[in-house]
A = this chain, B = another copy of it.
Amino acid sequence: MIRIDTNSSKPLEEQIAGALRQTLAQGEFEPGDELPSVRQLAGDLGVHFNTVARAYRRLADEGLIIVRRGRSAVIRPQRRTATRVTKSTLQEQLSEAVATGLLGGLSRDDIVQTFKEALAGFGERKKS
């Protein structure tokens, strides 16, 4: 389902949360669907269950999923409208990305191009 890179300097917890976030954004899950259990996913990825649990908790704090003791984590039904927070988070992430590109020697056009590809990766898919 998702892949992680234990050699990356990026914390596993963030990698997992990020990957799940992307999966959710692509609409692969319907609201109400259950995510794999913490221990299940941890086993699949070969990491400690605590690491996955923290990733889940983070997504729950962001309002993307609902986790409750004794039950599987489920995708949250409604879409939030707290766009103010989202917007500032977005700004920060995009700025960081642009900085990465420029510092790495990419041209502005390269970056724009990559951005377009990324956006296209999340096709306007309808709720089939």
Q: Which residues of A contact B (CB under 8 A)?
A: 9-11, 18-19, 21-22, 24-26, 61-62, 64, 68-69, 79-91, 93-106, 108, 110-112, 114-115, 117-119, 121-122, 124
Partner of A25, one of B24, B105, B118: B105
Q: Is the CB of A100 within 8 A of B104?
A: no
In the complex, are the beta carbons of B115 and A94 less than 8 A apart? Answer: yes
Q: How far is the CA of A24 from the CA of B101 in the complex (A)?
A: 12
- Interface pair B104/A118, CB less than 8 Å apart: no
Q: Is the CB of B22 within 8 A of A96?
A: yes
B103 adjacent to A64 (CB under 8 Å): yes
Closest 10 CB pairs of A and B: A86-B104, A25-B105, A25-B99, A93-B97, A94-B118, A18-B103, A22-B99, A25-B102, A95-B118, A90-B101
